[in-house]
Amino acid sequence: MQNLQGIIRRSTNNVTNQWERLGYIANDLANCNTIGYKGIRFEQMLQADGYLTGAVRTNYEQGSIRVTSNPFDVAIDGAGFIPVFSKNGEVAYTRDGSFKQGKDGYLMTNDDWIVGNGIKIPSNCYKFQIKPNGDVVAYDAKDAPPKKIGNIPLVRFDCPEGLEQTDMNKLIPTDESGEAMLVKNHTCFKQNNLENSNVDMYAAVGDMLRINASMLASTRMMKVVDDMYNKGINIRE
């Protein structure tokens, strides 16, 4: 049998959990156009004592891939991440392949992190290609043979959901994610392509509406209980 205090506690618990979930969904919607962004999924359950609990997981399903006209763009078709390095030696991982050529000729992210171990593209080359296995080759002239100038590595983690999100669409490993493992003999890279966010905007909006209804129901229940308290106090007086 529920008492009034128990109803208030459970209603407060529901509002708190749904408010936190609403924040994650709002963040997903804000990043629906972010290259390579992975949305959040929720695993919620109702415990035997009536309290709502659950866990927040990252949805690492493949996002759709779109063609671009930029040869510096590269999409990952499959699982994995590209390691990038800051000028201070920090290492992070990303699926955002919207790269550029830095002032020194190196392949870099848009915020000037070096891709892989440093791939310098000759400024006077006729063209360059990023092969599906990550090899980067340059051509000195139209009919010249290709010259390998580097390789974009692909790494995977035992538990990618354990990666910690940082600024500028990057992730860093944790004890839960494990260490990065280099993938060999793959064909996951697609030049002149980018991976879209995997956020389902329509599903996210539907979730927001359901969460809003749940929060309203809980707050109304608390209002009803508050009115009952007030009436009980007036009766005793």
**Per-residue pLDDT at 50:** 65
Confidence of residue 1 (pLDDT cuts 50, 70, 90): very low
Taking the C-alpha atoms of residue 172 and residue 73, their distance in angstroms, rounded to an integer, is 22
**Per-residue pLDDT at 175:** 94
Taken in order 161, 164, 167, 170, is the CA torsion positive or negative? negative
**Per-residue pLDDT at 2:** 60
What are 179-198's pLDDT values in tens digits? 999 999 999 999 999 999 99
Q: Are 97 and 76 in contact (CB under 8 A)?
A: yes
82 burial type by CB count under 10 A (0-12 exposed, 13-18 middle, 19+ buried): buried
Taking the C-alpha atoms of residue 211 and residue 231, their distance in angstroms, rounded to an integer, is 30
Angle at 70 between CA 131 and CA 141, to 5 degrees: 60
**Per-residue pLDDT at 237:** 54
**Per-residue pLDDT at 23:** 87
| Amino acid sitting at position 219 | T
Domain assignments of the chain as residue spans, ordered by start: 4-60+199-236, 65-195
pTM: 0.83
Exposed e or buried b per residue across 85-112, where buried means at least 16 C-beta atoms within 10 angstroms of its C-beta:
beeeeeebbbbbbbbebbeeebbbbeee
**Per-residue pLDDT at 78:** 95
Q: Classify 237 as helix, strand or coil.
A: coil
How far separated are the first and last CA of the chain, in Å rounded? 27
What are 152-181's pLDDT values in tens digits? 999 999 999 999 988 889 999 999 999 999
